[in-house]
Amino acid sequence: MKLLPLPAFQDNYLWLLHDGHRALVVDPGDAQPVLAALRQAGLQLEAILVTHHHPDHIGGLEEVRRATGATVYGPARETIPEPLTRVAQGDVVRALGLSFQVLDVPGHTAGHIAYFHDPHAPSSLPPGGAQPPRGGPAAAGPDVDGTPLLFCGDTLFSGGCGRLFEGTPAQMLASLDALAALPGDTRVCCAHEYTLANLKFARAVEPGNAELVDYTQHCEALRSQGQPTLPTTVAQEKRINPFLRTRESGVRHAAEAFNGTRPGDDVGVFAAIRQWKNEYR
């Protein structure tokens, strides 16, 4: 399997996963990059996975669906154009011979979902245990066979998390906790190239975090070469992302300094850090 981030708009990534013949795409906010990549590589689009209803994630959905006939999967509790197979926590989406667990991750929007592929789950193989077809004309992109994958939309970013447009701090913290509990080598396919701005804020929260300094230098080098900083991994984010580290003493103390008072419980700490990020320049 090959994984490609397709740039769109100013900073979106539309994720394309393919086996050299068949493909799926996540959050096609713009149809043109998707259709161009499919034509160039000679791929047949089998499925479209939608995480939430914002226009930069579904703006190209209908055009891609009409052009390819792909099956569309999306959040059960959000307004997404039909035809749509509506999915929620506990459902499984099967595409490309792989199985994707659906996770409810409200916070950024009320019905936001994510898709997690565990390559070690028996249901991840096609009937009979055969591997999906490989090879073909599409060779670009890193090989992700045997790698856990997470398509998380705007819930988790490298070094950050999504704004709370419809959900509550308690919901977002619970959603991030669920993602942080996934295997450490899970490749986290975020929907935006916000990494450098997020890391600038993260250094303000944890100026003494040496892992954060090293990771920032790594990401700056990638961007200077025109390369994406994504995907990241769950393990990496647990080391550097303040929104996954709100129970660390340094982050709690930073939240207290910003708030001017003790923010209280874990939700209060998260809410203070999120508000700080909203105001940060």
The count of other CB atoms within 10 Å of the CB of residue 90 is 9
CB-based burial label for 225 (10 Å; 0-12, 13-18, 19+): exposed
117 in a known ligand binding site: no
**Among residues 19, 27, 30, 56, which one is catalytic?**
56
145 in a known ligand binding site: no
Please name the residues in contact with 241: beta carbons below 8 A apart, sequence gap of 6 or more.
156, 158, 159, 160, 161, 198, 202
21 in a known ligand binding site: no
154 in a known ligand binding site: yes
54 in a known ligand binding site: yes
**Among residues 18, 21, 53, 57, which one is catalytic?**
57
Query: Among 223, 106, 122, 101, which residue's Cα sits nearest to residue 174?
Result: 106
Q: Which two tokens stand for residue 250?
A: 């340094």
**Among residues 53, 108, 112, 117, which one is catalytic?**
108
11 is catalytic: no
What 3-state DSSP class applies to 27?
A: coil
**Among residues 54, 112, 117, 118, which one is catalytic?**
54
11 in a known ligand binding site: no
154 is catalytic: yes
253 is catalytic: no
118 is catalytic: no
177 in a known ligand binding site: no
Angle between helices 195-205 and 249-259 (to 10 degrees): 90
218 is catalytic: no
Query: Among 65, 68, 33, which residue's Cα sits nearest to residue 50?
Result: 65
Enzyme catalytic residues:
52, 54, 56-57, 108, 154, 192
Q: Which residues are annotated as a binding site for Zn(2+)?
A: 52, 54, 56-57, 108, 154, 192
Annotated binding site: 52, 54, 56-57, 108, 154, 192
